[in-house]
């Protein structure tokens, strides 16, 4: 259904883009932009994108419906006919010259003709109410901003939104919202009309949040005001209070009929023009006129808008935030979005299997403690159990000194330095009891469920006492076990995004994610935890290396298939996730 609204925007010669909102704004925003700026493409220039209008609602569909209406308003205003009254004849063919006031048109969009007409009339009534001057209203209390799907709000801010009943216009309740924030120069306000007062409150809050969003956007010095105005009544005086719960819980059964009756009772009729094909999203323009006493109240349709064409529209002074220029096509990230949705934990029963380690068999529990590989038949193995304690920098020094691109020296790492690095970052540091008969090893780096889904491989180039080659670090035995010695680091560096930088390193740490070790418990969410485990481990390696006076440069720029084949994993059940270059710090670069 969102696509129907979006198509109605594009068929009018414009485009819609989603506007990122601050996290303290609980709502959804869409912006109207020229058709040329429709694509979410990467623009390294961060070029300006003109915003023609802004819509705020509880969800994307609601915001797009508002944009459909705003797009139609702009088409009328830019068609050479300055107001709705210059472009719509009366239902009886009169030019309506006596009704011209230069005001922007009232346009409504909906799933049906009646819904579109009702929205257009509400907008016209709200405009009249705002322009008539508002001095007092009844404060609405007890509104739960989180209640129901229509709720939008501000949260955690130094201010509030007050809602008021502002009397009636043509027998239709008017409702207003005033946003007061201490850091705003003046309060913001919005007024709407709605027969269903509860819905009107939510619409008023959406409208005032739209005003707030507009104030946060950059604007040219010569900018005009956006075409929808909600009046100025922030100094409204509360003459009483009414609880939100006492308002009607649902709209009238026949809302259009009730609205027609109230307009007739107050001497009004509505002239309506259909602006779009009837087989699509209903879109109408509307004006209110005095009704002849002998004429029955009706909502006639007086023609179609098939002769209007998209025009070039100048921006109304708003400019998009820069991040809209640094974006992507939705299909480029569709799989990632689907994965993230499927990997969410939910309150529904059966999201994840229930695992009680104490009830698992002894062999199964022992398997949990064997979170490592073993190249026990390797023709070269090096113990990684250094004697004594290393001389380490303080945490304060480590944090201030760590730089990924710090200059590396031409010398080698010592075997003791590498041993300290590996054991302090991923060696066993203790044990935990699993049941009454098993102690599981614990390590220096956190891991989801204690399952340790990451493995460390080290490609050695210049380490004293260790011959060049790719080694696996066995955390239980604290051994380097040879995996491959046919490729040099210089050859492997060709398959990274920073060949020259990788060639400077004395060694390269290769992190491999073991998905099966984790996903039997966490299923789809396990992919997230494997990546988190890898990140925890990489940070431990970087911090430990820096504390030893070494340079550690994390790197994600590498050719996956090449590195997976080099390590010997399939890239599916097990995959290379990350690299870290290691080297001695260049002499004289201590303060870098």
> Which residues face 414 on adjacent strands?
464
DSSP characters over 388-415: S------HHHHHHH--TTPPBPSS-EEH
Task: Identify which of 275, 271, 297 has the alpha carbon closest to the alpha carbon of residue 286.
Answer: 271
415-426 and 525-547 helices, crossing angle to 10°? 140
Per-residue pLDDT, 315: 47
Q: Are 576 and 560 in contact (CB under 8 A)?
A: yes
Q: How far is CA 339 from CA 251, 343, 526, 543, in A?
A: 40, 6, 11, 31
Nearest alpha-carbon partner for 207 in 62, 378, 16, 35:
62
The arrangement of strands across the sheet holding 14-18 comes to: 14-18, 28-34, 53-57
In what helix (H) or strand (E) does residue 106 lie, and over which residues does it extend? strand 106-110
Determine whether 566 is exposed, middle or buried from the number of CB atoms within 10 Å of its CB (0-12, 13-18, 19+): buried
Using DSSP's 3-state secondary structure scheme, residue 542 falls into: helix
pLDDT value, residue 117? 93
- The residue among 129, 174, 179 whose CA lies nearest residue 153 is 179
Q: At what angle do helices 60-77 and 2-10 cross, to 10 degrees?
A: 20
In this prediction, residue 167 carries a pLDDT of 92
In the 3-class helix/strand/coil scheme, how is 413-476 assigned residue by residue? Answer: EEHHHHHHHHHHHHCEEEEEECCCCCEEEEECCCCHHHCCCEEEEEEECCEECECCEEEEEECC
Query: What DSSP element (H or E) covers 535?
Result: helix 525-547
Cβ count near 459 (within 10 Å): 27
The shares of helix, strand and coil residues in the chain, as percent rounded to the nearest 5, are 30, 25, 40
Look at residue 98 in the predicted model and tell me its pLDDT. Answer: 33
> Which two three-digit tokens encode residue 550?
């070494």
Contact 37, 50 (CB under 8 A): yes
- DSSP strand pairing (153-154 vs 25-26): antiparallel
The two structure tokens encoding residue 345:
């934990």
Measure the N-to-C terminal CA separation of the chain; round to a whole number of Å: 56
Is the C-alpha dihedral spanning 333, 452, 558, 560 positive or negative?
negative
Q: What is the pLDDT of residues 308-365, one digit of tens each?
A: 333 344 445 777 776 776 666 777 788 988 888 888 877 655 567 777 777 777 787 7
How many distinct helices (H) and strands (E) make up the chain? 15, 26
Helix extents (H) in 217-321: 255-265
Size of the chain in residues: 592
pLDDT of residue 349: 54
Per-residue pLDDT of the chain (592 residues; tens, 9 = 90+): 678 888 899 988 899 988 888 888 889 999 998 888 887 665 656 667 888 889 999 999 999 999 999 999 888 877 654 443 344 433 333 333 333 455 667 999 999 999 999 999 999 999 888 888 888 899 999 876 544 445 688 888 888 899 999 999 999 999 999 999 888 888 999 999 999 999 999 999 999 999 999 888 877 655 555 444 555 676 788 899 999 999 988 888 999 999 989 999 999 988 888 887 666 788 999 888 887 644 443 444 444 443 333 334 444 577 777 677 666 677 778 898 888 888 887 765 556 777 777 777 778 777 777 788 889 889 899 999 887 888 899 999 999 999 999 999 999 999 999 999 999 999 888 888 776 677 778 888 999 988 899 999 999 999 999 999 999 999 989 999 999 999 999 999 999 999 999 999 999 999 999 998 888 888 889 999 999 999 999 999 999 999 999 999 999 999 999 999 999 999 999 999 999 999 999 987 654 4
- Judge contact between 487 and 566, C-beta under 8 A: yes
| 263 and 170 Cβ atoms separated by less than 8 Å | yes
- Calculate the CA 571 to chain-centre distance: 29
Closest C-alpha among 91, 128, 84 to residue 106: 84
pTM for the whole thing? 0.72
Distance CA 206, CA 192 (A): 10
d(CA 66, CA 74): 12
């Amino acid at each position: 259904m969102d696509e129907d609204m979006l198509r109605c925007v594009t068929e009018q010669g414009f485009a819609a883009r989603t506007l990122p909102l601050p996290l303290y704004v609980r709502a959804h925003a869409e912006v109207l932009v020229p058709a040329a700026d429709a694509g979410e493409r990467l623009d390294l220039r961060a070029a300006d994108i003109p915003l023609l209008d802004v819509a705020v609602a509880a969800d994307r569909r609601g915001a797009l419906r508002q944009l459909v209406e705003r797009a139609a308003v702009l088409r009328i205003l830019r068609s050479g006919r300055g107001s709705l009254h210059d472009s719509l004849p009366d239902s009886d063919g009169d030019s309506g010259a006596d009704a011209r006031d230069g005001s922007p048109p009232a346009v409504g969009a909906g799933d049906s003709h009646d819904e579109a007409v009702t929205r257009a009339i509400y907008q016209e009534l709200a405009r009249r109410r705002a322009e008539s001057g508002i001095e007092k209203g009844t404060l609405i209390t007890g509104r739960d901003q989180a209640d129901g799907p229509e709720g939008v709000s501000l949260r955690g801010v130094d201010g509030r939104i007050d809602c008021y009943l502002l009397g009636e216009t043509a027998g239709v309740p008017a409702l207003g919202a005033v946003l007061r924030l201490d850091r705003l120069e003046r309060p913001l306000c919005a007024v709407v009309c709605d027969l269903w007062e509860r819905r009107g409150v939510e619409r008023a809050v959406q409208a005032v949040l739209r005003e707030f969003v507009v104030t946060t956007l950059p604007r040219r010095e010569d900018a005009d005001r956006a075409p929808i105005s909600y009046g100025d009544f922030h100094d409204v005086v509360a003459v009483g209070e009414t609880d939100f719960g006492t308002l009607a819980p649902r709209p009238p059964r026949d809302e259009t009929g009730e609205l027609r009756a109230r307009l007739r009772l107050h001497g009004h009729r509505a002239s309506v023009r259909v602006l779009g094909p009837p087989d699509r999203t209903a879109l109408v323009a509307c004006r209110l006129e005095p009704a002849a006493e002998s004429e029955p109240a009706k909502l006639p349709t007086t023609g179609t808008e098939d002769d209007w064409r998209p025009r070039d529209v100048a921006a109304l002074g708003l400019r998009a935030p820069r991040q809209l220029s640094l974006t992507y096509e939705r299909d480029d990230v569709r799989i990632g979005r689907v994965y993230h949705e499927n990997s969410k934990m939910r309150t529904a029963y059966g999201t994840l299997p229930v695992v009680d380690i104490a009830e698992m068999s002894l062999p199964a529990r022992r398997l949990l403690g064997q979170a490592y590989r073993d190249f026990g038949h390797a023709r070269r193995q090096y113990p990684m159990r250094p004697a004594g304690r290393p001389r380490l920098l303080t945490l304060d020094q480590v944090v201030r000194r760590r730089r990924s691109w710090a200059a590396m020296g031409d010398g080698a790492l010592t075997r003791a330095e590498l041993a300290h690095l590996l054991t302090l970052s991923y060696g066993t540091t203790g044990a935990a009891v699993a049941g009454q008969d098993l102690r599981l090893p614990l390590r220096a780096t956190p891991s989801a469920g204690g399952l340790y889904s990451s493995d460390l491989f080290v490609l050695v180039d210049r380490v004293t006492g260790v011959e060049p080659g790719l080694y696996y670090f066995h955390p239980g035995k604290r051994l380097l076990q040879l995996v491959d010695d046919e490729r040099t680091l210089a050859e492997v560096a060709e398959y990274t995004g920073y060949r020259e930088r990788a060639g400077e390193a004395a060694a390269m740490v290769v992190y491999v994610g073991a998905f099966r070790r984790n996903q039997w418990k966490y299923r789809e969410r396990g992919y997230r935890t494997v990546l988190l485990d890898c990140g925890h481990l990489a940070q431990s390696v970087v911090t430990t290396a820096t504390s030893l006076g070494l340079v550690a440069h994390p790197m994600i720029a590498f050719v996956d298939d090449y590195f997976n084949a080099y390590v010997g994993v399939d890239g599916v059940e097990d995959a290379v996730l990350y690299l870290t270059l290691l080297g001695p710090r260049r002499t004289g670069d201590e303060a870098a």
